[in-house]
Chain A
C-alpha cells in the first residue's frame, strides 16, 4: 500500500514519509529542548522513540527523502543505513539552528545576567541532551555504531549535542561570557558577596565541553584550559602583582605576610570550590610565585630577627609561606639560617656560663651549669620547632645538627683530648650530681611542687636528651661507669629507681652492649647483700670478730676497679673478718679468688682521746676513715702497736719508718695520711705539726671538735687527677681496640678493599665515637704488622685480608 501511495506521490509532493516522520520528531525534540525541566509523559517518549525506529527501518523501500538523498544511500544494502545518516543529519541541522537561536537570545544579556542565562540554559540543555540521546537510541545502537566501527568520525547523540552547544552557542558568545565570568570572579576576590555556585557551574560546563576532538570519550579539557584556566591564572597573577605592590607600599613586610596569609587561604578555599582539581597545583604555584616568590629575599631576611625576638606567630606564618615555595626555594634557606642561629645561641650560652664564678668552684657546679645552659638553648628552639614549624623534618634535622655542633665543641669543651673538659665527661658528672646523695640543691633546681622522684626523672630525661647529641659516647660511658661504681660501693645512690631508669634510657639510645655492664654491676650489689645476710646467719655462733662487717663482691670483668697499687698489712682485728669471710665465700662459690680492694673500703671507728671532755669523754668521737687510715690509726691503739710500749699517757710515739714498716703501705700514702691527720689535729708531729719522713707522731690527746662524727676519708685531689688520667688512657686503649676490631670485621667480609673505602667503612661502622683518620691508619699499620692485613704488591693502596 505504501508503495502505491508513494508512487502516486512522486510527481506531486516531495514530502515523503521521511519528512512526515521527521516533522513529528522535530516537534518532539523542540519540546524537549525548550521544556526539559518540566518532564514529559511516557507516551510522548514512546511515540518519538518509535518514530526514530520507523525512520530507520520501515522507509527502506520508499523514495529517498528529498534534499537528504545521497546517491550512496540507494546502493546501501545494510538495514537502516540509508536513512540512518539522513536522520542524523536532520537532527544535527535542527539542533544547530536551535542553538543559533539561543545564542542570538543570549546577546540580550550581559554581565551577571548573561551568566545566569547561560547557566540556566546549560542545565536545561543537559537534561534535554540526555533525553534526546535516549530517544534516538536506535540510531546510537545501529547506524552510529557501525560508522564508528568503520572508523568514521561519527559521535553518539549525547556527544553530538554537546558539540553543537560548543560550536553553535559557546564559541559564538565566548568572549562576553568569559568576560562576565572573570568580572564576577574579580568582584568576589575584592570581597563582594556573590553566588559562588554560579561560577562553579559555569566553570564545570567548560570542563564538560571537553576538547575539539570529534570522538567522545577522551576527556581532554582544551576548552577549559585555553579559554578559561589560562586567562584566569594570568588575570590572577596581574591582580596580585598590583595588590602586593600596594600592600608593601602601605605597610611593613610583617603586615604583608599577614595579608598574604589571609588572601592565600581565601584563594585556596575558593579554588577548591570552583576550579577543576587538576588545576589546583598550577593555580597555587602561580599565586605562590607572585605573592611569595617575588618577595622571597625580603621574607627570608626577616627570619633571623624573628628568631632573636622569639616571635612564634610570625615565625609560623613565615614558615607556612616559604613552605609553599618548595624545599629548595623556600625551606632550604630557612634550614641554613636556623642551624647557624641555634649554633650561635648555644655557643653564646656556654661561653657565658664558662666565665661564671660558680663554674670554677667544682666539677659538679661546672657540669651542672654547662648542662643547664645546653638545655636552655635546646628546649627553646625545640619549642619553636614544635609550635611554629610544626616539627618540620628538615628544620628538625637542622636543630639536631646545630646541637651536635655546639654541645661537643664550645667554650668549655675544646676538641683537644683533655677529657676533663669533654662534653661527655661533663654530662656524666652532671648525672652523678643528680643520682648521688647529698646534692639536694642540684635536684631542687627542678619544678616546684613536683615530687623529688618526678623531678629526678624529668632531669634524667633531660640529661638523655643531651646525651643523644654527644660525639664521644665512649668517654661518657667510661666516666659514667666510674661514677656509678663509686655510688654503688659507697651506697650513695639517691634512688635505685632513678639508677634503673637511667640505665634503661641509655639502653634505648645506645643499645644493650653498652649498658649490660651497668646492669651486671647493679645485680652484683644486690647479690652481695644477700650473701652478707647468709654470711651473718651462717657465722652467728662462730664469729671471730665483734664489729659490723659489710662486704660487696664485685665481678672483675664488669667493674672499673683495679687491685690496690700498694701493699697493706691488715690490722689483726680486720684480718679475722677477712679470713672468716673468705672461708665462707669459698664454701659458697668455690675456688674463685678474692681481690680485696682496700683503696675503696671504709671503716667507722670510735676514738677515745685521753684528754677529752664532756660527752666526748664517755662516748668518744666517731670517725669515718679509709682502710689505709685505719691501719695507721690502729697502731696507736693502746692494745696494739709495734710493741714500743707507752711513752706517755697519750699512747705510743711512732716514727715514720715504724709506721711504714708496720703497715707495709707505700711511703707516699703514709705521708699523705699523716699530713691529713696532723691537719685535722687528730695527731701531732714533733716537727711543728708538719708531716715529714723524719718526724715522730703521737695522738693528739686533747682533740676537740664540735661535731661528734668526723669524716676523714674524703677523696683526694691528686687521686682524682690520677683517675682522670687512667680513664683517658683506658678510653684510648679501648678506641684502638674498637678500631682494629672494626677493620678486621670489614676486611673479613670484603676480603680486599682500597684505602679510602676502608677508612670510610670504618668510620661508618663505629657508633660510639668519631674515629680520626690518623688513628685508623695506625690501627691499619698495627694489623699489617701482626699479619691480619697486607698491602697488595701492585696496587699500593689496596689492602688484602689474611685469613
Chain B
C-alpha cells in the first residue's frame, strides 16, 4: 500500500505484470483490486469515475501516462486522497452539468468495442443505471431497451448523447415531446412506448 511516495511505485501495485507485449497497463483484474482498496462498489458510479479520472483507455484498463497525469491533475498521492477526490467529483456532478456531460460522453467510448461506432444495447442496459441512476428518463429508457431487445441491438453515439439532453428536457407527463423535433428517430418509439405504459408512472 503506497502511502505518499512514488506514483510509479503505486502503479506497480496494480499493474498487470504477466504481460508479454511490454505494455505498461493496469488491466481489469488490477483495476478491481484498486477499487477494492478504495472501498468502491463495482455496481456504483465510482469505479467508472475513477477510470475516467485516470484517463483510462478502455473498461478497466489504465496506462501509466494516464495514471500519472490523472493523479497529478487531482493532486493526489495516496489512497485516501484518491478516494476523497473521486467522491468529490461525484458530488460535483450534482452542480456541474458540463462536467457530468463530459464524463457521460466518455463512458460511451469505454463501452464501445474498438472497431465499432456503436455500443450494444445490452451494455447500455447494464451501464446506464450505474451512470445516471436517479434520472427517471434513463430508468424508463433502460426498461424500453429491455422490452425491445429483439429489435434494438445497438445504441449510437448520437442516441447516447441525446439521451442526456432528453433527460433534462422531457416533462414527466411526456407532453412536451414532438415527433417533429430534432430528436433521434428512435426516441419517437421510446416516448410512444412510455406513453402507453404510463399507468404506473407517477402522476
Instruction: State whether A797 and B182 are in contact (beta carbons under 8 Å apart), knowing that A781-B156, A785-B156, A791-B158 are contacts in the complex.
Output: yes
Instruction: Find chain A residues with CB under 8 A from B182 CB.
Output: 754-755, 791, 796-797, 799
Q: What's the minimum C-beta distance from A339 to chain B, rounded to whole angstroms?
A: 27
Q: Does B21 contact A (CB under 8 A)?
A: no
Instruction: State whether A777 and B184 are in contact (beta carbons under 8 Å apart), knowing that A784-B158, A785-B117, A785-B158 are contacts in the complex.
Output: yes
**CB-CB contacts below 8 Å: A770-799 with B:** 773-774, 777-778, 780-781, 784-785, 791, 796-797, 799
Q: What's the minimum C-beta distance from B46 to chain A, rounded to whole angstroms?
A: 28
How many residues from B make CB contacts under 8 Å with A?
A: 17
Q: Does A756 contact B (CB under 8 A)?
A: yes
- Docked CA distance A781–B156 (Å): 9
Closest to B165 in A: A796
- Docked CA distance A772–B156 (Å): 22
Instruction: Find chain B residues with CB under 8 A from A427 CB.
Output: none
Q: Does B179 contact A (CB under 8 A)?
A: yes
Q: What's the minimum C-beta distance from B186 to chain A, rounded to whole angstroms?
A: 8
Closest to A758 in B: B182
Identify which of A759, A781, A797, A799 contacts B184 (C-beta below 8 A).
Answer: A781
By the criterion CB–CB under 8 Å, are A781 and B185 in contact? Answer: yes
- Docked CA distance A791–B162 (Å): 10
By the criterion CB–CB under 8 Å, are B180 and A773 in contact? Answer: yes
Closest to B169 in A: A796
Closest to A754 in B: B182
By the criterion CB–CB under 8 Å, are A773 and B158 in contact? Answer: no
By the criterion CB–CB under 8 Å, are A781 and B158 in contact? Answer: yes
Q: Does B83 contact A (CB under 8 A)?
A: no
How many residues from A make CB contacts under 8 Å with B?
A: 16
Q: Does B114 contact A (CB under 8 A)?
A: no
Closest to B118 in A: A785
- Docked CA distance A796–B169 (Å): 11
Q: What's the minimum C-beta distance from A72 to chain B, rounded to whole angstroms?
A: 86
By the criterion CB–CB under 8 Å, are B185 and A774 in contact? Answer: yes
Instruction: Find chain A residues with CB under 8 A from B156 CB.
Output: 781, 784-785
Q: Does B106 contact A (CB under 8 A)?
A: no
By the criterion CB–CB under 8 Å, are B184 and A773 in contact? Answer: no
- Docked CA distance A785–B166 (Å): 18
Instruction: Find chain A residues with CB under 8 A from B180 CB.
Output: 756, 759, 773
Instruction: State whether A777 and B157 are in contact (beta carbons under 8 Å apart), knowing that A759-B180, A797-B181 are contacts in the complex.
Output: no
Closest to A798 in B: B182
Instruction: Find chain A residues with CB under 8 A from B16 CB.
Output: none
By the criterion CB–CB under 8 Å, are B157 and A773 in contact? Answer: no
Instruction: Find chain A residues with CB under 8 A from B184 CB.
Output: 777, 781
- Docked CA distance A754–B181 (Å): 10
Using CB atoms and an 8 Å cutoff, list the residues of chain A in contact with chain B.
Answer: 754-756, 759, 773-774, 777-778, 780-781, 784-785, 791, 796-797, 799
Using CB atoms and an 8 Å cutoff, list the residues of chain B in contact with chain A.
Answer: 117-118, 156-159, 162, 165, 179-186, 188
Question: Assuming A774-B179, A797-B182, what are 11 further A-B pairs, CB within 8 angstroms?
Answer: A754-B182, A755-B181, A759-B180, A777-B183, A777-B184, A778-B185, A781-B158, A781-B185, A785-B157, A791-B182, A796-B162
Going nearest first, the 8 A-B pairs with the smallest beta carbon separation are: A755-B182, A797-B182, A777-B185, A778-B185, A784-B158, A785-B156, A781-B184, A781-B185
- Can you spell out 8 A-B residue pairs with CB atoms less than 8 angstroms apart? A759-B180, A773-B179, A774-B179, A780-B185, A784-B158, A785-B117, A785-B158, A791-B158
